[in-house]
Amino acid sequence: MSAPTIQSTKVNYLTALKDAIAEEFARDKDIVAMGEDIGLLGGAFGVTDGLQEKFGKDRVYDMPISEAAIVGVACGLCLNGKKAIVEMQFIDFISCGFDQIVNMTATYHYRTAGEVNIPMVIRGPAGAYGGGALYHSQMNEAWFAHSPGLKIVCPSNPYDAKGLMKAAIRDPNPVIFYEIKDLYRRRDIEMELPEEDYIVPLGKAKVVKEGEDITIVTYGQNVYHVLAAAENLEKEGYRAEVIDLRTIVPLDEETIIESLKKTNRLLVVNEAPKTCGVAGEVLARMTENAFQYLDAPPARITRMDTPVPWVKPLELYVLPSVEKITEAGLRICKF
């Protein structure tokens, strides 16, 4: 098998998503996209820029400001043979379409005894650290992790963003796709991507840094905070193994357990609030299924249980940071 051809120019996170959607549109004529200002404007951040011009208004729809209507229409189109990509202008506003997502879209496959699929991707910019305050900074993935029938994805780099988006679009059932807006145009994470078609399988985590003293599990933008904290830990003589979940639902427990067999210590980091969050779920599952490998109490670093403040010092105060992760890692390693 020949090695993949690599693009000569580096691609940012946003362009990787944009290319994935355009390539899937060209591959499958049944794919449609809809959202607020995604056609003429190309989306608030430009992820769908040029899509309507290339594929036409009969496949790329500008919709009214009603997330419930957008998801409802998309669900109906999926019932009639289409595959829908829905944009939330900010993922915070997904709450306006919550009923259509969790009570309609997520349940169709189950209530039809597997006869009906809803191939829909609901995507949008998410996350804090950019001064967006309480209405434009949320990570609300835990809401949907509690709704059977939905897969949840959150890539941290351009390669995964493109591969996971393609996998999500091709999946026969609904996927909530969290795009970290603070990573969209971040220059230091740009990557050269394969020219050939590829996917990153849903439900498979990735070990992004190997170590033997502590396992740190995270996803999204926090991957970079954890990697920086791992450098700090190494200066203290501890080598952290860093796992990027990539897919939150389904959760790749096997990769985490295999890491714990080696490190015997666990720290989980997520940007969303602490109560009933993904970090707590990972800790619970590892306590249930890998307790015999733990030599120290596992811990989590999350956002405080508060809205995200607008003022920068306060925003950083409530969110996970390199310093908080480093301190927790040292405490666990020294236990």
Domains of the chain: 13-189 (3.40.50.970), 206-333 (3.40.50.920)
DSSP 3-state assignment of 313? helix
Q: Quick one: tokens of 296?
A: 């120290």
Query: From CA 179, how far away is CA 206, in angstroms rounded?
Result: 18
Q: Quick one: tokens of 107?
A: 């349940």
**What pLDDT does 155 receive?**
98
The active-site residue, picked from 109, 136, 146, 225, is: 136
Judge whether residue 1 has pLDDT over 80: no
Q: Quick one: tokens of 44?
A: 């608030």
* pLDDT tens-digit readout, 138-147: 999 999 999 9
136 carries an active-site annotation: yes
Query: From CA 88, how far away is CA 200, in angstroms rounded?
Result: 23
Judge whether residue 2 has pLDDT over 90: no
Closest Cα partner for 309 from 141, 150, 135? 135
Amino acid letter for position 73: V
Longest dimension (CA), the chain: 61
Decide if 139 contacts 162 (C-beta within 8 A).
no
**What pLDDT does 320 receive?**
98
Judge whether residue 296 has pLDDT over 90: yes
Q: Which residue has the tokens 């597997």?
A: 114
Average pLDDT of the chain is 96
The proportion of the chain whose per-residue pLDDT surpasses 70, expressed as a percent, equals 98
Q: Quick one: tokens of 153?
A: 């994805």
